[in-house]
Amino acid sequence: MSKEPVAVTGIGQTKHVAARRDVSIAGLVREAALRALDDAELTWADIDAVVIGKAPDFFEGVMMPELYLADALGAVGKPMLRVHTAGSVGGSTSLVAANLIAARVHRTVLTLAFEKQSESNAMWGLSLPIPFQQPLLAGAGGFFAPHVRAYMRRSGAPDTVGSLVAYKDRRNALKNPYAHLHEHDLTLEQVQASPMLWDPIRYSETCPSSDGACAMVLTDRAGAARAPRPPAWMLGGAMRSEPTLFAGKDFVSPQAGKDCAADVYRQAGVADPRRDIDAVEMYVPFSWYEPMWLENLGFAEEGEGWKLTESGVTALDGDLPVNMSGGVLSTNPIGASGMIRFAEAALQVRGLAGEHQVDGARRVLGHAYGGGSQFFSMWLVGSEPPDS
């Protein structure tokens, strides 16, 4: 089986903010979609199919909103698929769209993910009572804090590492015009002095709640040849899932994450990720997940990830920049967050990341996860097509 190479030729995002009261959900997604079409210099008529993703429908209070959004996304008369894989959904949505091209079912696909959290209340959406199950009223931070604690105990990391990540990502966000948080005067000391929410996670080490959308135009080899700007080529992509709760689960470094990365590296011919990959956009909703995922993704030995962070390797001018865009810590429209990681990776290898561009970024990993560290989706994109 030969697969069609998949290229990203258009990327669009909204300016992410706490509440976009000036647009409807349809207006929000259309803004990102039009920017992606403009980037690819295509029109609605060039799009064969639409693949849309978002996190739970309860976050806006609309059941299967893709039905209502068909008109706004130019999908009328076309195939439209709706993906939902929890927090990893933005990544999974990109991969489902890419597969339509790889399988030669369609030639050019618009993929989009969004969350308009201001329409409803995300904490309420996550806290609906479930019969016969323990309520998880602590929110996501309460769920992940013990696993961060477990990582710190296992690795012996000093408790300052989390604040370094948060400070770095928030500084990076200042260079990204689409990022939600632009905290110009933030200091490291302020991060370290911010209120403790779920020990050891402090207020400034958590992601915001954002309204926002991200869209990409994916196309085949012929489409890429016609693209006005450099394409990003997909070199590998994979999804892996495992149960949320079971006795054998390693919450610090889930097997599904390791397997997913290994599959992507195999497809892309990556032997040593630390050497062969230039930068990473990873899903870090709580600051400590940077060192944790560095190990899970094979960029550091077990227990060593925090040393990369502490020594500045993951800084924008470091040897392995992580979350050049400011990451989930600066922008979190939940359903779109995974796609933003994938899109930012593509922007980097296209050389179009503006002020947060990493010089010479030729192969960049986009990473997303969801559920209780249960669902993983990743892609590796490059500036050269896969067979070159």
Partner 1 sequence: MTRDIAVVAFARTDHRATCEDTSEVEMLMPVLHEVLARTGLRTADIGFTCSGSSDYLAGRAFSFTMALDGVGAWPPISESHVEMDGAWALYEAWTKLLSGDADTALVYSYGKSTPGSVRDVLTRQLDPYYVAPLWPDSVALAALQAQALIDAGDTDEAALAAVGARSRADADSRVPQGSSPGDYVVRPLRTGDCPPVGDGAAAVILAAGDRARALCERPAWIRGIDHRIEAHALGVRDLTDSPSTRLAAEKAGAFERPVDTAELHAPFSAQEVVLRKALRLGDGVRVNPSGGALAANPVMAAGLARIGEAAARIHRGESGRALAHATSGPCLQQNLVAVLEGDPR
- Residues 10-29, interacting with partner 1 (CB under 8 A): 24-25
Q: Where does this chain touch partner 1 (CB under 8 A) — which range of 202-210, 300-308, 370-378, 380-388?
A: 370-378
Q: 153-192 mask for partner 1 (x: CB under 8 A)?
A: ----------------------------------------
d(CA 14, CA 36): 10
Instruction: Write b or e for each residue in 167-195: b if 16 or more Cβ atoms lie within 10 A of its Cβ, otherwise e.
Output: bbbbbbbbbbebbbbeeeebebeebbebe
- Tell whether residue 274 is a contact of partner 1 (CB under 8 A): no
Q: Where does this chain touch partner 1 (CB under 8 A) — which range of 74-82, 175-183, 201-209, 279-287?
A: 74-82
Considering beta carbons, is residue 156 or 248 the nearer one to partner 1? Answer: 248
- Tell whether residue 58 is a contact of partner 1 (CB under 8 A): yes
Binding test (CB under 8 A) with partner 1, winner from 36, 80, 157, 279: 80
Cα distances from 208 to residues 17, 275, 361, in angstroms, run 9, 32, 28
Contact 349, 232 (CB under 8 A): yes
d(CA 291, CA 298): 11
Specify burial of residue 221 (Cβ count, 10 A radius: 0-12, 13-18, 19+): middle
- Tell whether residue 76 is a contact of partner 1 (CB under 8 A): yes
Considering beta carbons, is residue 10 or 372 the nearer one to partner 1? Answer: 372
d(CA 332, CA 283): 10
d(CA 93, CA 40): 19
Q: Where does this chain touch partner 1 (CB under 8 A) — which range of 8-16, 53-61, 278-286, 309-317?
A: 53-61
Considering beta carbons, is residue 132 or 184 the nearer one to partner 1? Answer: 132
Binding test (CB under 8 A) with partner 1, winner from 29, 86, 270, 316: 86
Contact 345, 191 (CB under 8 A): no
Considering beta carbons, is residue 93 or 210 the nearer one to partner 1? Answer: 93
Size of the residue set binding partner 1 (CB under 8 A): 69
In one-letter notation, the amino acid at residue 158 is P
- Residues 97-156, interacting with partner 1 (CB under 8 A): 99-100, 102-105, 119, 125-126, 128, 130, 132-133
- Tell whether residue 239 is a contact of partner 1 (CB under 8 A): yes
Considering beta carbons, is residue 143 or 307 the nearer one to partner 1? Answer: 143
- Please, what is the Cα angle at 343 between 252 and 170, to 5 degrees? 60
Considering beta carbons, is residue 228 or 243 the nearer one to partner 1? Answer: 243
Contact 219, 42 (CB under 8 A): no
Q: What's the alpha-carbon Rg for the chain, to the nearest Å? A: 19
23, containing H or E segment: none
Q: Give min distance, CB of 120 to partner 1, in A.
A: 10
- Residues 253-272, interacting with partner 1 (CB under 8 A): 254-256, 259-260, 263
In one-letter notation, the amino acid at residue 254 is P
DSSP-derived secondary structure letter, 372 = T
d(CA 221, CA 4): 7
Summarize as ranges the residues that interact with partner 1 (CB under 8 A).
1-3, 24-25, 55-71, 75-86, 92, 95-96, 99-100, 102-105, 119, 125-126, 128, 130, 132-133, 238-244, 246, 248, 254-256, 259-260, 263, 371-372, 374-375
